[in-house]
A and B are shown apart, each in its own frame.
Chain A
Amino acid sequence: MPTPVIGTSVRRKEGREKVTGKARYVDDLKFPGMLHGVTVRSSAPRGTIRSIRFAEGIPWQEFTVVTAADIPGKNCVALIVDDQPCLAAGVVNHPEEPVVLLAHADAYLLEEARRAVSIEVEPLPAIFSIEDSLARKQIIWGSDNTFQSIVVEKGDLESAWRKADRIIEGEYFTGSQEQLYIEPQGMVATADRRKGITIWGSLQCPYYIHKSLTALFDLPPEKIRIIQMETGGGFGGKEEYPSMIACHAALLAWKSGKPVKIIYDRAEDMAATTKRHPARIRHRTGVSRDGKLLAMDIEFVLDGGAYETLSPVVLSRGTIHAAGPYECPNVRIRSRAVATNAPPHGAFRGFGAPQSVFALERHFDRVAEELDLTPEEFRRRNFIREGQTLAVDQVVREPVDMTRLMERAFEMSDYHAKRERFTRENRGRNAKKGIGFAAFLHGAGFTGSGEDYLASIVAVEATEEGRVRVLAASVEMGQGTNTIFAQIAADALGIEYDSIEIAQPDTANVPNSGPTVASRTCMVVGKLVESAAVGLKQTLIGSGLLSERYTAAEFAAACRRYIAQRGPLKSTSQYAPPPELHWDAKNYRGDAYGAYAWAVYVAEVSVDLRTFEIAVDDFTAVQEVGKVIHPVLAAGQIEGGVAQGIGLALYENVVWREGRMVNNQMTNYIMPTSMDIPRIRVHFEEIPYPFGPAGAKGIGELPIDGAAPAVINAVAQATGANLPRIPVTPEVLMEALEAMRA
Chain B
Amino acid sequence: MPEARGKIRVTCTVNGKAMKFSAFPMERLLDVLREQIGLTGTKEGCGEGECGACSVLLDSKLVNSCLVPAAQVEGAEIRTIEGLATGEQLHAVQECFITHGGAQCGICTPGMILAAVNLLERNPQPAEADIREALAGNLCRCTGYTKIFESVVRACEARSGKS
A residues near B (Cβ < 8 Å) are 9, 11-12, 14-25, 27-28, 179-184, 230-235, 265-266, 477-480, 632-633, 635-636, 639-644, 665-667, 671-675, 677, 679-680
Contacts and interface: CB of A to CB of B under 8 A. Distances in A.
Contacts of A644: 141, 144
| Centre residue among B43, B44, B100, B104 by max chain A CB count within 10 A | B104
Given A182-B45, A266-B48, A674-B135, A640 B143 contact: yes
Contact of A674 (B40, B98, B104, B132): B132
Nearest to B104: A478
B14 to A, nearest CB: 13
Contact of B43 (A12, A232, A673): A232
Contact of B50 (A179, A665, A675): A665
B47 interface: yes
B108 A182 contact: yes
Given A16-B98, A21-B42, A636 B139 contact: no
A677 B144 contact: yes
B103 interface: yes
Contacts of A680: 144, 146
B136 A674 contact: yes
B110 A21 contact: yes
B103 A20 contact: no
B105 A477 contact: yes
Nearest to A679: B146
Given A665-B48, A671-B139, A677-B145, A232 B132 contact: no
B47 A640 contact: no
Contacts of A266: 45-48, 51
A646 to B, nearest CB: 8
Contact of B142 (A21, A478, A677): A478
Contacts of A665: 46, 48, 50
B146 A677 contact: yes
23 contacts: A16-B98, A19-B94, A19-B113, A20-B84, A27-B44, A28-B40, A182-B51, A182-B53, A182-B140, A232-B105, A232-B107, A265-B47, A266-B45, A479-B142, A636-B104, A640-B143, A643-B145, A665-B50, A671-B141, A674-B131, A674-B132, A679-B128, A680-B146
A298 B131 CA distance: 45
A156 B50 CA distance: 54
A12 B98 contact: yes
A182 B139 contact: yes
Interface in B24-65: 34, 39-48, 50-51, 53
B81 interface: yes
A25 B43 CA distance: 9
A17 B143 CA distance: 18
B100 A632 contact: yes
B81 A20 contact: yes
Contacts of A182: 43, 45, 51, 53, 105, 107-108, 139-141
Nearest to A23: B106
B149 A675 contact: no
B101 A633 contact: yes
B105 A231 contact: yes
B99 to A, nearest CB: 7
A502 to B, nearest CB: 15
Nearest to A266: B46
B144 A641 contact: yes
Contacts of B43: 25, 27, 182-183, 232
Given A182-B51, A665-B48, A20 B85 contact: yes
Interface on chain A toward B: helix, strand, loop, or mixed SS? loop
B99 A232 contact: no
Which 3 pairs across A and B sit closest by C-beta, in order of nearness? A21-B41, A232-B107, A478-B105
B139 A666 contact: yes
Contacts of A674: 131-133, 135-136, 138, 140, 145, 148-149
A636 B144 CA distance: 8
A675 B146 CA distance: 11
A15 B103 contact: yes
B143 A15 contact: no
Interface string B121-155: 00000001001110111111111111111000000
Nearest to B98: A15
A667 B109 CA distance: 21
A19 B103 contact: yes
Contacts of A20: 41, 81-82, 84-85, 90, 94
B101 to A, nearest CB: 4
A632 B147 contact: yes
Contact of B147 (A11, A17, A639, A666): A639
B122 to A, nearest CB: 17
A555 B137 CA distance: 50
Given A20-B94, A24-B40, 10 more contacts: A19-B97, A19-B109, A21-B39, A25-B40, A182-B45, A233-B142, A266-B45, A642-B144, A665-B48, A677-B145
Contact of A640 (B97, B100, B133, B144): B144
A666 B142 contact: no
Contacts of A673: 136-137, 139
B99 A11 contact: yes
Contacts of A11: 98-99
| Centre residue among B34, B51, B107 by max chain A CB count within 10 A | B107
A182 B112 CA distance: 12
Contacts of A179: 141
Contacts of B99: 9, 11, 632
Contacts of A231: 105
A477 to B, nearest CB: 6
A189 to B, nearest CB: 19
Contact of A18 (B44, B106, B139, B143): B106
B141 A675 contact: no
Contacts of B80: 21
A679 to B, nearest CB: 5
B60 to A, nearest CB: 19
A12 B103 contact: yes
| Centre residue among A14, A478, A642 by max chain B CB count within 10 A | A478
| Centre residue among B106, B131, B132 by max chain A CB count within 10 A | B106
Given A27-B44, A667-B48, A679 B149 contact: yes
| Centre residue among B34, B135, B139 by max chain A CB count within 10 A | B139
| Centre residue among A17, A667, A677 by max chain B CB count within 10 A | A677
Nearest to B110: A21
A380 B147 CA distance: 33
B82 A21 contact: yes
Contacts of A25: 40, 43, 107
Interface string B74-85: 000000111011
A180 B94 CA distance: 24
A21 B141 contact: no
Nearest to B41: A21
Nearest to A230: B106
Nearest to A11: B98
A666 B149 contact: no
Given A16-B90, A680-B144, A183 B107 contact: yes
Given A11-B98, A232-B106, A673-B139, A667 B50 contact: yes
